[in-house]
Amino acid sequence: MLLLKLLLFRGIILLIIQTTYVPDEYYQYPEPSFHIAFPHSHQQNLTWEWGENAKIRSYMPLLPLIGLYRLVGFAVRLMCFTLLT
């Protein structure tokens, strides 16, 4: 019962709060998403909101973009492997 109430509350919050339409937040999503999907690719200087000590942002909105980056990375590796064999 508590879980149902929490899910209902979360659903209402998702419908009411529209923070992803703020351009500053929207355009900061690709950098941390790329950093999570490809951690060994290159050194990135993320903004302070995404730092280890701040922890004021959630990674949940980034999950679709992280999944897309990983899918593209897998497809590229698969194509390279196919071309090399």
Residue-wise pLDDT for 17-68, tens only, equals 766 566 666 677 888 888 888 888 776 677 788 877 877 888 888 899 999 9
Query: Is the sign of the CA dihedral 79, 63, 28, 35 positive or negative?
Result: negative
Q: Is residue 8 part of a domain?
A: no
- Whether 11 shows a pLDDT value over 70: the answer reads yes
Mean pLDDT across the stretch 1-25? 80
pLDDT at residue 6 in the model: 92
Q: Which domain holds residue 41?
A: 21-84
Give the Cα separation of 50 and 32 in Å (integer).
7
In a domain, 9, yes or no: no
Pick the more confident residue, 5 or 46.
Answer: 5
> Considering its fold, how many domains does the chain have in total?
1
The label of the residue with tokens 């980056």 reads 69
Structural domain contains residue 4:
no
Give the separation between CA 49 and CA 58, rounded to whole angstroms.
Answer: 10
Q: What are phi and psi of 45, to 5 degrees?
A: -100, 95
